[in-house]
Amino acid sequence: KFNITVVGGGSTWTPGLLKSLCTLKDRFPLKKLVMFDINEERQNIIGEYGKILFKEEYPELEFSYTTNPDEAYLDTDFVFMQMRSGGYEMREKDEKIPLSMGIIGQETCGPGGFAYGIRSITDMIKTINDIRKYSPDAWILNYTNPAAIVAEALRREFPNDNKILNICDQPVNLLRSYGRLLNVDPNQFEPVYFGLNHFGWFTNLYDKEGNDLLPKLRKMILEEGFIPVDAEQRDQSWLDTYSMVRDMVTDFPDYLPNTYLQYYYYPEYKAKKLDPEYTRANEVMDGREKRVFEECRKVVEAGTSKGSHVTHNDAHSEFIIEVAESIAYNLGRIYIVIVENNGIISNIQDDAMVEVAAVLTSNGPRPMSVGKIGTFYKGMIESQLAYEKLTVDAYFEQSYEKALMALTLNRTVGCGKKARQVLDKLIEANKDYWPEF
Ligand code: G6P
Ligand code: MN
């Protein structure tokens, strides 16, 4: 039985995770669960919800929540992390500042992702130091965004820590959606995937017999379009995002793209489609944030979680538990995760943090070789990688010049004049969070 700590206990993704831990308790049984958040108010609501849920569905579990890092990480085996530095208030700025200049406004892509990345690095480093003080051997499974920037920063700050694993649920979301289209259980898939986080491609999708289902899937997407597996629960902006997969496959049909590539394939076109007055942050604050907290309050008032619906994406919570399970029991299942390249993609530099399929064992991920990639993909990846590396350089060196270089290279900006303008606005907006440039 395992002890786990959830960092970001006050996140609206957390109730879904708590529910999944109940559903999967026979496969991945817990002794103790501690939730940690720096925001006491959010943490309390979800913590009280958790108490009622576990009393009903997991009475043997020792459950607590805290805002004290000295209590959160004692004797823990797995830390599930999902923090949002600056909260939704800052996400809104990340999205609106670039959009006000006609540049993509997105939490992980473009200048918004840059701003969020610089904020996340400080908080991530602090949290990992807190964890390592009490649990030097715990596995840290990290969802914190922007995962590409975070992964690169952690690689540099903790070069000898091989129990930090950065993950993203978007490849799993896509696999589940492929499963729905093809009418195949997505657990049967053996995918080949390469790229950077929120910047990658599926090259093959093998079934258990070794047949590649990707050509058939490509044809179906071109003919029927593409929707997320959980389309019924998705907001309009996510449906729009998924619908763009058909455009991407039409234009670049070799492989199947991660949805996030649309911001880099079509930066101007996409920026025009986004509303600078009402962004995804607004949609989330008006939707999920209200809904989940209200639902949790209702459960607490009623004293029972029966009949409540707090989950909004099964893949997100199940994926992190399955990753932990595969590590804990040395199952060797294949998942798409973020690791240091070291020759996996043979014509990309070794010290890139890449997203690829890996066999997950108790010794961590054993990534599967991708080999040489074509010129177009190499070019796309290398410019994005340079942007990511320069962003992390800018953070550690507190260098305005590096920050300007990073944003100039980012395909969503593409112009040094615009890069300087947006950087200056972001510096102003982030002055309570960023190191001084
Ligand atoms: C996907 C991505 C995550 C991201 C999330 C945002 O799951 O992989 O990295 O955090 O979408 O979702 P939201 O509903 O907050 O826009
Ligand atoms: Mn992600």
Nearest CA owner, ligand 1 atom 16: 280
pLDDT tens column, 179-196: 999 999 999 999 999 999
d(CA 368, CA 347): 15
How confident is the model over 410-434, as a mean pLDDT? Answer: 98
CA of 229 to the centre of ligand 1 (A): 15
Separation of CA 285 and ligand 1 centre (Å): 14
Closest residue CA from atom 15 of ligand 1 = 284
Q: Is 260 a catalytic residue?
A: yes
Ligand 1 atom closest to residue 312's alpha carbon, by position in its atom list: 14
Give mean pLDDT, residues 59-66: 98
- The confidence band for 311, taking pLDDT boundaries of 50, 70 and 90, is confident
State yes or no: pLDDT of 312 exceeds 80.
Answer: no
Nearest atom of ligand 1 to the alpha carbon of 146: 9
Percent pLDDT > 70 in the chain is 100
- pLDDT tens profile 112-155: 999 999 999 999 999 999 999 999 999 999 999 999 999 999 99
Binding-site residues, ligand 1, Cβ < 6 A: 145, 168-170, 280, 284
Q: Which two tokens stand for residue 281?
A: 């942050």
- pLDDT for res 314: 85
Our answer to whether residue 58 is catalytic in this structure is: no
Average pLDDT over residues 44-48: 97
Mutate to test the pocket of ligand 1, among 84, 169, 175, 261 (most ligand atoms within 8 A of CB): 169
CA of 316 to the centre of ligand 2 (A): 9
Q: What is the pLDDT of residues 11-37, one digit of tens each?
A: 999 999 999 999 999 999 999 999 999
The alpha carbon of 303 and the centre of ligand 2 are apart by a number of angstroms equal to 34
Report pLDDT for 84. Answer: 98
What separation in Å is there between the alpha carbon of 12 and the centre of ligand 2? Answer: 16
Instruction: State the ligand closest to the CA atom of 317.
Output: 1
The predicted structure's pLDDT at residue 230: 93
Residue of minimum CA distance from atom 11 in ligand 1: 170
Q: What does the pLDDT average to over 348-364?
A: 98
What is the residue type of 391? Answer: T
- pLDDT confidence of residue 313: 80
Average pLDDT, the chain: 97
Q: Which of 37, 123, 169, 314 is catalytic?
A: 169
In this predicted structure, what is the pLDDT of residue 89?
Answer: 98
Average pLDDT score over residue span 344-352: 98
Of the listed ranges 105-109, 136-140, 230-234, 344-348, the one predicted with least confidence:
230-234
343 pLDDT more than 90: yes
The pLDDT value given to residue 196: 98
pTM value > 0.95: yes
Take atom 10 of ligand 1 and give the residue whose Cα is closest. 145
ipTM over 0.90: yes
Among 174, 235, 280, name the best residue to mutate to test ligand 1's pocket (greatest count of ligand atoms within 8 A of Cβ): 280
pLDDT given at position 300: 96
The yes-or-no verdict on residue 309 having pLDDT over 90 is no
Query: What mean pLDDT comes out for the span 47-70?
Result: 97
The pLDDT assigned to 307 comes to 87
Considering every ligand atom shown, identify the ligand nearest to the alpha carbon of residue 282 and give its number. Answer: 1
Helices 40-57 + 290-302 axis angle, to 10: 50
